[in-house]
Amino acid sequence: MVFTGFNPREDESEEFPYKKLTREEAAALRSRNPSLSPWRVVAAQCGLGVLIAAVAWGVTGSRATLYSALYGALVVVLPAALLARGTTGPLSRLSPITSAVIVLSWTAVKMGVSVLMLLLAPRVVESLSWPALLIALVGCMQVYWLALLWRGR
């Protein structure tokens, strides 16, 4: 027995399980499943980071805690903004392969910038409070989960 593979033109009488959408059907599908802007997620991360820093400052009264929490938020927000900018550019719309390569490349940049910022934290923030930095960092990263809820189903 020789396997010849799948040839969709072997039996022209069978219908494909999908159909091409009309312009109106595509618009209706987009309206039922709206996309979420990555910039909205970055803005939410930024807002939450400022809120966490304000709470940390209110609880401790220490400027070092405030700056540490702000820096922790920045460790998430700045790389996320780089990723959003890189993946929403005109090159990302050329082809699916180009888009995948761009997403992978900017994800690597995002991880590298995050690690570099964490390594530089003790030099950048005077009297660094690691707990405040990490609480803000983890809090801002949780916005990705909230973004899934925003889209809804």
Q: What is the band of 119 on the pLDDT scale with cuts at 50, 70, 90?
A: very high
Q: What is the band of 50 on the pLDDT scale with cuts at 50, 70, 90?
A: very high
Q: What is the pLDDT of residues 5-38, one digit of tens each?
A: 555 555 555 555 777 888 888 788 777 777 778 8
> Could you tell me the pTM of the whole model?
0.77
CA quadruple 145, 148, 149, 153: dihedral sign? negative
Q: What is the band of 104 on the pLDDT scale with cuts at 50, 70, 90?
A: very high
How much of the chain is helix, strand and coil, in % rounded to 5? 75, 0, 25
**DSSP letters spanning 44-106:** HHHHHHHHHHHHHHHHH--HHHHHHHHHHHHHHHHHHHHHHHHHSSGGGGS-HHHHHHHHHHH
Average of per-residue pLDDT across 52-70? 96
In this prediction, residue 147 carries a pLDDT of 80
Residue type, 134: L
**3-state SS, residue 5:** coil
In this prediction, residue 12 carries a pLDDT of 52
Report yes or no: 46 and 80 within 8 Å, Cβ to Cβ.
no
